Structure 1
Amino acid sequence: MSDEQPTTPRVAVVTGGSRGIGRETAERLARDGFAVVVNFAGNQAEADKTVAAITEAGGRALAFRADVADETEVAALFDAAEATYGGVDVVVHAAGVMTLAPLADFDLDALDRMHRTNIRGTFVVDQQAVRRLREGGAVINFSSSVLALAIPGYSAYAASKGAVEAMTLILAREVRGRDITVNAVAPGPTATALFLDGKDEETIARMAAQPPLERLGTPNDIAGVVSFLAGPAGRWVNGQVLRANGGIA
């Protein structure tokens, strides 16, 4: 038996990989030995910082701009991954947007924009993923623990994430026989710009006190869950939504 390590790395595509949970996930998967394609929507500078952090630590990464809801741009994203690294093994779809307001007051244009990214974006990325993934691959979508909490103001966002969960559970069954797992991670309140923006200190403190662990989650907490699902230890977890929220009911 040879002790030589394979020359072709496992490859991960991480959407929304320039900031927050996506960036932490990209860096964690790079430490796990993946070559990482960091997708971003518009902030080239932040994406380049993610790539620089990975390469300075000895990993392999490249940044690629694509609108996750545009099927042509997402196809080009996967083309770049295959051309540069030889294929794709794991897709982490962390890109998403969140707009909050009571249902009665919600701006319908904002609803359409959010659903375009969160619902259509998930559909488009997952569609390319299952067409491209090599055997033994994994798709990891992002939902939210807010679905089970029924918090006023979150109706539109929760609806979009409910759609993500439905797609995830069905897709896991549609890829039967291909040795591909499909799961979703549903973070609770996590200290990212997406969560913190627009909230006062009292609101943040109240939400941090909700879990029995009495703190907000961190991007590193969530990246660890993704790492588990992307790695060999997570291969028997399939068609599930993992609620990584510190114990919020």
Structure 2
Amino acid sequence: MSTILSSGTYYGIERKQEEGMCFKLNITRYDPFTDIGKHYHENAYLSLLIHGVYREMNRKAEQDLLPGELIFRPAGYDHANHFAAGGGSCLNIEFKPEAIQALIEKPVLPQVMAVYPAGTFEYLYKLLYCFIQDLGDGLQDEYILNWLAAQTVQKIPARLLWLPRVKHILEEELDQPYSITGLAARVHVHPVYLARAFKEREGITPGEYRLKMRLGKAMELLFRTRESVSSIAYATGFTDAAHFIRSFRACYPTSPHRFRASLKS
């Protein structure tokens, strides 16, 4: 008989967790030779293997998952697992069914288990990095909406009348609260469609575009003012100096303090 795991519940040791608009994120760690008996989850979720190797066993087949690979497990999918000698850890992205239904009229989540090779959806690996480094600020929502959008086949038209307005908002309102759902409501576009169309047209998500604008403004302030790093962080919409410094270092090979100091040398 299989065990049912309720929303947000996983085997293993939870190391980190976060909850967003339409998802729950966590990282779980598993000891070497961990055996997990037959079970299924109340909600559908994606699981990205960060390190280690484990065997996925269901009613029809068995297969080994390797680091970087991604598996989608629909709600109610019955399976068991065995971790190898090195143990392992996984990023789990659980979908909130009510939130997904509110966002999307037609079901887009796959109905069967699927395994994807490492690197298949680059934004989910960006999600992993942002989650580990605490670089949130709405990016997690966008990366997950991009995955949901990839499950649809809606064609993007050549001309997007709302795109200039979206870019203007992202460029001019750097210190204002941001969410992709709020942005979509302002231009009267569905958030999943906006996420997909913007990414297809601009090559980056709206949140990444906004981050690029914020870091550009921060660079301008580092050159042109004597404002402290904390003041620059708040002026460009970061929650605190630590978030600004992490984002700056992710883009440039140094910290804001050292960059500014190098200008004086």
The structure whose residues are more often helix, as a share, is: 1
Larger radius of gyration: 2
Q: TM (normalized to structure 2)?
A: 0.22
The structure whose residues are more often strand, as a share, is: 2
